[in-house]
Structure formats: structure tokens, C-alpha cells
Amino acid sequence: MNSVATGSDLTIADIYDAYETRLYRFALSLAHDPDRADDLVQETLIRALNYLDLLHQLNDHQRRAWLCQVLKNRFLDEQRAHQRRERLLEQLIQDAEWMRLPVPPAPSQDIFSCVPERYRTLLRQRYELGMTSREIGAELDIPAATVRSRLHLAIKWLRAHRSEFLST
């Protein structure tokens, strides 16, 4: 492995040259997909752009560990988001079966695209991001009870418009 510049002129190109191969191998071991591994490496390097001063202060081992941790965190974040989407789809399928409706759209489609904007953010935060009503309320600066009430209205809207929702 090439050593990274030690002067004050550390660049992202230096980091790329020194760590890209190792990061790619690590990403491939996590994702088992060459294209996804490439994406993870690029996302890691983009993140590193904002931390060049910090990376300059670290030694080679620390720098490599930092980059690998960023890559791993990004991979895990994507895995969790995928699992949340899958759970949401499973719940929609169960609800559709219970109500004897056709199966909802495939996971690649945006499930919330047909929902009015006033409900979309809340539904995404709750069911896609897995946030609690307290967390959503804190982010939106409204009481948790208001969040629960609005989520109830959103679900009520979905039930009232389920034929439109399931046909998209």
C-alpha cells in the first residue's frame, strides 16, 4: 500500500490512491456485489472529503480504521433501511390479504408516492425510518400526541384511498 502524504497537502486523491483497493475488498466482503461495493467506496470517499483535516491528523492505521468504519456504518444504514422497507411491505401485504385486496406494489416502487404531502413525511419517518412518535415530534417540534393523531389520520386516508394506492 502506498503511504499517504504527510504534509499539510493531504488530498482526497492521496486517500483514494492509498486506501481504495483495501476499501473495495472490505465493501465487497460486506455487500457481496461489485457494483454496491464500488458505491460504498465512493460514498466513503465523499464523506472523507469533509474530514480531510481530521484524516491528516491520524496515522495510517487510524485513517484506515476511520475509513472502514464509515464504510461499514453506511452499509449497515442501508441494510436497516432495506429491512424497514421489507417489514412495511410485509405489513401492507398482510393488510391487503386481510381486506382481500390485491397485493401492494413491489418494494422497488415508492410506497408513499400517492400519499398527500401532509402525511408523507410522517409516514416515512414512522414506517421507513422506524422513528417513534416522540422522536418525530422532537424533530418537527410538535407534541408526540399530535404526531400520533396525524399518523392516525394518515392511516385513515390510506384506508379510504386503498384502491388508488394499490393500483399504482
* Residue 64 confidence (pLDDT) above 50: yes
Which of 56, 77, 107 is where one domain is finished? 107
Grid cell in block for residue 154: 394518515
Same domain, 51 and 21: yes
Q: By C-alpha distance, which of 135, 98, 128, 133 is closest to 111? A: 128
- pLDDT tens profile 100-112: 544 444 444 466 7
* CB atoms near residue 137 (< 10 Å): 18
Same domain, 153 and 125: yes
Same domain, 84 and 158: no
**Interval 148-162 mean pLDDT:** 80
* Residue 49 confidence (pLDDT) above 70: yes
Average pLDDT, the chain: 81
Residues counted in the chain: 168
When divided into structural domains, the chain yields a total of 2
**CA dist., res. 41 & res. 16, Å (int):** 9
Same domain, 53 and 98: yes
Q: What is the CATH number of the domain that holds 42?
A: 1.10.1740
Which of 107, 128, 160 is where one domain is finished? 107
